[in-house]
């Protein structure tokens, strides 16, 4: 967490690539409370106000070993209505990834222990994380390094020194492309389970299984949130349109039916005690 003195120091420092102050720090300093958190998520810059196309707040992980850069990027993303979490090393990032997948990863290449390109290739080789959008943020600026990064599966490449304003724009662009690609695709799969969005049908091991409309919506939402814990309240809001705790039993009944219909894949839906459910790709 950056203290008040560090925020003031960075606010008067040169911009990271575009001239002037590090972009966004005027609003960061204005909204930082005594506890180090923002009192409100009010955006001072009009470019932050221009796009509200996210249905849910997008979660972004930042894997960067430089504390100042990591905190700067995290604060800027937070003020742009993202949920940003920073990690100083691959080990802490991988621990968090086991708990749930973010919507996007900002990845440094030169890291302690495991380098960013190796980590990127591992992410793209695993079913659970191969669709995770990745932006490389690195001091390696040669054409060869860019080609290696993009060929390894990165969605974009930002060289240091950089403008925070440009980085935010690139994050928005990558997320927009990802959302559009998911809408264009008519099929979505997790492990042996595949759903066809046009026909609203479910397949397990290529065998078609009948699902009611709510069962289909519930399963598809869990598949979109693969690897993340989803509360009963969230499922009620997203599938039924309201989130009364008294109605949460409805979710449990539907989950029980879905598990039965999925057969051997039913155990992929894990019960998280006192919270909700999580779908994992491993049968």
| Number of other CB atoms surrounding residue 66 within 10 Å | 15
The DSSP result for 102-162, as a single string, is -SEEEE-SS-SSS-HHHHHHHHHHSTTTTT--EEEEES--SHHHHHHHHHTT-SEEEESS-
Mean pLDDT (whole number) for 182-194: 79
Q: Residue 44's closest CA among 85, 7, 81?
A: 81
| pLDDT higher than 70, residue 136 | yes
pTM above 0.85, yes or no: no
Residue 28: name the closest of 73, 62, 79 by CA: 79
Given a contact cutoff of 8 angstroms between Cβ atoms, the answer to whether 277 and 255 are in contact is: yes
d(Cα 124, Cα 128) in Å, to the nearest integer?
9
Neighbours of 253 (CB within 10 A): 9
pLDDT in the model for residue 206: 84
β-strands 230-231, 276-279 pairing? antiparallel
Radius of gyration of the chain (CA): 21
DSSP 238: I
Q: Which of 15-24, 58-67, 202-211, 248-257 has the lowest mean pLDDT?
A: 15-24
pLDDT at 27: 37
User: What is the token pair recorded at 245?
Assistant: 């705790």
Lowest pLDDT segment from 12-16, 121-125, 158-162? 12-16
For the ranges 107-111, 113-117, 199-203, 239-243, which has the lowest average pLDDT?
A: 239-243
């Amino acid at each position: 967490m950056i203290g008040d003195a560090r925020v003031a120091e960075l606010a008067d420092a040169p911009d990271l690539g575009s001239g002037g102050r590090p972009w966004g720090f005027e609003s960061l300093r204005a909204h930082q409370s005594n506890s180090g958190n923002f009192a409100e998520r009010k955006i001072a810059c009009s470019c932050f106000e221009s796009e509200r196309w996210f249905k849910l707040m997008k979660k972004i992980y930042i894997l960067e070993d430089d504390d100042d850069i990591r905190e700067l990027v995290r604060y800027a993303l937070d003020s742009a209505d993202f949920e940003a979490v920073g990690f100083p090393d691959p080990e802490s990032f991988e621990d968090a990834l086991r708990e749930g997948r973010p919507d996007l990863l900002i990845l440094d290449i030169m890291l302690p222990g495991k380098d960013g390109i190796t980590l990127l290739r591992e992410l793209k080789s695993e079913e659970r994380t191969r669709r995770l959008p990745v932006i490389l943020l690195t001091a390696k600026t040669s054409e060869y390094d860019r080609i290696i990064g993009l060929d390894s599966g990165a969605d974009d490449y930002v060289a240091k020194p950089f403008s925070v304003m440009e980085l935010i724009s690139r994050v928005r662009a990558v997320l927009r492309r990802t959302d559009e690609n998911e809408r264009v695709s008519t099929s979505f799969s997790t492990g042996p389970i595949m759903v066809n969005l046009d026909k609203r049908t479910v397949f397990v091991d290529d065998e078609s299984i009948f699902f009611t409309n709510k069962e289909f919506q519930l399963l598809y939402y869990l598949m979109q949130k693969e690897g993340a814990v989803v509360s009963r309240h969230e499922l009620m809001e997203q599938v039924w349109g309201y989130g009364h705790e008294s109605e949460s039993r409805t979710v449990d009944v539907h989950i029980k039916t879905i598990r039965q219909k999925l057969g051997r894949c039913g155990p992929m839906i894990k019960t998280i005690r006192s919270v909700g459910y999580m779908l994992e790709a491993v049968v």
